[in-house]
Amino acid sequence: MARKTIVAGNWKMNMTPSQAVELINTLKPLVATDAVDVVFCVPAIDIIPALEAAKGSNIQIGAENMYYEESGAYTGEISPAMLTDVGVKYVIIGHSERREYFAETDETVNKKVLKAFEHGITPIVCCGETLTQREQGVTIDFIRQQIKIAFLNVTEDQAKKAVIAYEPIWAIGTGKVATTEQAQEVCAAIRECIAELYGDDAAEVIRIQYGGSVSASSAAELFSQKDIDGGLVGGAALKPDFGKIVNYKDFKVVEY
Ligand code: PGA
């Protein structure tokens, strides 16, 4: 078996519904491949037009967030059933911007991860250290803590389906991409942490992405690392360059 590379775009708070349709129509031919799973995580209001526009293509539409309750008095939130009802299969959980600006914690991330699995949605679980943490040498400890709490009460079968995105905060939107060695080192540590929690089988199938200023020029080297199974891409996902990132050279197929 092999882990299939997964390249996901994170549109963040960009693109109106009409711009979303236009962008998908532009990117559709550029990302057409079966070698890689291609996911566009889009703002909630763009989900339905994006699904329409992506129909018949290999593009899967994901959400950027969801709430951990089923329904009720949670003004402004979007429920897992709302996502599955229209055919959403992926959701980004615990992006560092949500942690920083919207007070998400490891505990709320865990609740959302559990709820996503309950509804059959694949969570793209984000983790990543600050520059201070990296400079203080506590990166691995910190990431292990984020992962262990995010996966609390997640079963082995569920964990095998999860996607983890390692995104050093200092590399997001800064143009400062982590070196290949830095990215590989942390992704390997994440895989090791999953092995400790669930055993080697789960560690071998779980997909781990790198995110943070991924570009057409850095994607090939990053995605060819042993423990990096694709990327979560912000800025470059809004441009034709995304096609080059999806079609990075020498698609990686890790045999095990
Ligand atoms: P970036 O964003 O590629 O613009 O750095 C990545 C992300 O935040 O997911």
Tell me the per-residue pLDDT of 182-237, one tens digit each, with 9 for 90 and over: 999 999 999 999 999 999 999 999 999 999 999 999 999 999 999 999 999 999 99
Q: Report how far ligand 1's centroid is from the alpha carbon of 97 (Å).
A: 10
7 DSSP 8-state letter: E
- 233 Cβ inside 6 Å of ligand 1: yes
Is pLDDT of 250 > 70?
no
Q: Report how far ligand 1's centroid is from the alpha carbon of 64 (Å).
A: 12
Q: What angle do CA 113, 118, 123 make, to 5 degrees?
A: 35
What are the tokens at 191?
A: 């895989």
- CB distance 126 to 211 below 8 Å: yes
- 172 Cβ inside 6 Å of ligand 1: yes
Whole-angstrom distance, CA of residue 221 vs CA of residue 22: 30
- 10 Cβ inside 6 Å of ligand 1: yes
Other Cβ atoms closer than 10 A to 166: 31
Tell me the per-residue pLDDT of 69-124, one tens digit each, with 9 for 90 and over: 999 999 999 999 999 999 999 999 999 999 999 999 999 999 999 999 999 999 99
Give the helix/strand (H/E) hosting 52: helix 47-54
Domains (range + CATH), the chain = 2-255 (3.20.20.70)
Whole-angstrom distance, CA of residue 204 vs CA of residue 227: 9
Q: Which residues have a Cβ under 8 Å from the Cβ of 101 and sit 6 or more positions away?
A: none
Tell me the per-residue pLDDT of 148-180, one tens digit each, with 9 for 90 and over: 999 999 999 999 999 999 999 999 999 888 999
- CB distance 142 to 185 below 8 Å: no
